Amino acid sequence: MKVTVSDIKADVGSLAGHVKPHIRQIKAAERVLEEGVKSGTIYDYQVSRVGDDIHLVMLHGSGEEASEVHRLAWDAFRAATEEAKKLGLYAAGQDLLKDAFSGNVKGMGPGVAEMEFEERRAEPVVIFMADKTSPSAFNLPLVRIYADPFYTSGLVIDERMHSGFYIDVLDQKEGEVYRFNLPEELYDMLALVGDVVRFSIKRVVSKDESIGTAAVVSAERLSHIAGKYVGKDDPVAIARGQSGLPAVGELLQPFMFPHLVPGWMRGSHVGPLYPCSVNDSNPTFFDGPPRVVAIGMMVKDKSFVGEEENPAPGHHVPVDYFAGKEFDYARNLAMQIAVYMRSHGPIMFERLPEEEMEYTTLKSVLERVLKGKRR
Ligand SMILES: [Mg+2]
């Protein structure tokens, strides 16, 4: 049976800064998705969050870019926005760039990662939710997971992974997508994805056709849609694990290295990616450091399955992978790097280069200063 997992996410207002959604926003979104289950639009769902972003993780049978599923998510974010307005939360409705839904939330503000696949006998799915960064934050870990045998030993010892993967890369500036055949074209691909300002990995596909899509990333850029800086493109990645795909442990290992990512504070700074639990995902140090949370559930017979005793739609208890003490190592290292990077203040390269800042108000500051101070 083919199923689709969709994570549609947005920041529609947050509590006391860019920190966390209010519980009433979460409940409002859940009520809309509950109706979606009753009406048969989706099979199951789980609302989660990282920092100030609400993630609607949905399971359904309508394939990718299904209008009715996107409309449901849009309605859920509208309901969460209404709560934000009533409570006077910060940036209520920030990521909803249009007034009326028009068939697909892509291009309307929310981030979307979704994949349709044939459900295997055991189907673990990991959702990586990141805050205060951009879609390219997943470039480095995804290269390590799907193309580096020193990370994923399955690339060497699992016959179904031995021939490698296809990886699609999005050019954020031009909108073009390029497909690379890994490992043969690894160096060509790295020439692109090493540039985390312009390129981001969008999709990973198994060469075993019976498996299909292995991972997807929400790759739209809010600022490129709106034409100006309107908030951060905090991304989500979905990855399937095991049985011809990387083991879940192989999916998680690269996050022990808190690599530098763009998009911290005002979308204008560079910082380390800090792996943490959902509850620890409140960004409090200079609105950061950038966070990544990983939650895992099984997909079984039109349902998600977590640690709950009685699975019921919307009431799951996902595995919260980075909650464990193992990742204290990465968190401690990330905080040392975060303080080091912040010590540069407004001086590059803690501050992003100008090309990445073209949608901020720095341009008008520069124009005024250059004009007024010329001698
Ligand atoms: Mg955010």
Task: Tell me the mean pLDDT in the region 281-294.
Answer: 96
Q: What spacing in Å lies between the alpha carbon of 300 and ligand 1's midpoint?
A: 30
Task: Tell me the mean pLDDT in the region 322-332.
Answer: 98
Q: What is the pLDDT, as a whole number, of residue 100?
A: 87
pLDDT band at 110 (very low <50, low <70, confident <90, very high): very high
Q: What is the pLDDT, as a whole number, of residue 46?
A: 98
Q: What is the pLDDT, as a whole number, of residue 226?
A: 60
Q: What spacing in Å lies between the alpha carbon of 185 and ligand 1's midpoint?
A: 34
Return the active site residues. Answer: 11, 229, 232
Q: Residue 322: pLDDT above 90?
A: yes
Task: Tell me the mean pLDDT in the region 162-174.
Answer: 94
pLDDT band at 193 (very low <50, low <70, confident <90, very high): very high
Assign 3-class secondary structure to the chain: CEEEEEEEEECCCEECCCCECCHHHHHHHHHHHHHHHHCCCCCEEEEEEECCEEEEEEEECCCCCCHHHHHHHHHHHHHHHHHHHHHCCECCCCCCCCCCCCCCCCCCCCEEEEEEEECCCCCEEEEEEEECCCHHHHHHHHHHHHHCCCCCCHHHHCCCCCCCEEEEEEECCCCCEEEEECCCCHHHHHHHHCCCCCEEEEEEEECCCCCCEEEEECCCCHHHHHCCCCCCCCCEEEEECCCCCCCHHHHHHHHHCCCEEEEHHHHCEEEECEECCCCCCCCCCCCCCCEEEEEEEEEECCEEECCCCCCCCCCCCCEEHHHCHHHHHHHHHHHHHHHHHHCCCCCCCCECCHHHHCCCCHHHHHHHHHHHCCC
Q: Residue 42: pLDDT above 80?
A: yes
Q: Residue 106: pLDDT above 90?
A: no
Q: What spacing in Å lies between the alpha carbon of 146 and ligand 1's midpoint?
A: 27
Q: What is the pLDDT, as a whole number, of residue 293?
A: 98
Domains in the chain: boundaries = 2-370
Find, among 115, 135, 110, 77, the residue nearest to 9 by Cα: 110
Q: What spacing in Å lies between the alpha carbon of 122 and ligand 1's midpoint?
A: 32
Task: Tell me the mean pLDDT in the region 263-272.
Answer: 92
Percent of the chain with pLDDT over 70: 96
Average predicted confidence (pLDDT) for the chain: 94
pLDDT band at 227 (very low <50, low <70, confident <90, very high): low
Q: What spacing in Å lies between the alpha carbon of 10 and ligand 1's midpoint?
A: 8
Q: What is the pLDDT, as a whole number, of residue 358?
A: 57
Q: What is the pLDDT, as a whole number, of residue 359?
A: 61
* Pair 315, 308: CB distance under 8 Å: yes
pLDDT band at 229 (very low <50, low <70, confident <90, very high): low
Q: What is the pLDDT, as a whole number, of residue 231?
A: 57
Q: Residue 32: pLDDT above 60?
A: yes
Round the CA-based radius of gyration of the chain to a whole number and report it. 20
CA distances to 210, 240, 300 from 121, rounded to whole Å, are 13, 13, 8
Q: What is the pLDDT, as a whole number, of residue 353?
A: 82
Per the model's pLDDT, the better-predicted residue between 365 and 214 turns out to be 214
Q: What is the pLDDT, as a whole number, of residue 75?
A: 97
Q: What spacing in Å lies between the alpha carbon of 132 and ligand 1's midpoint?
A: 5
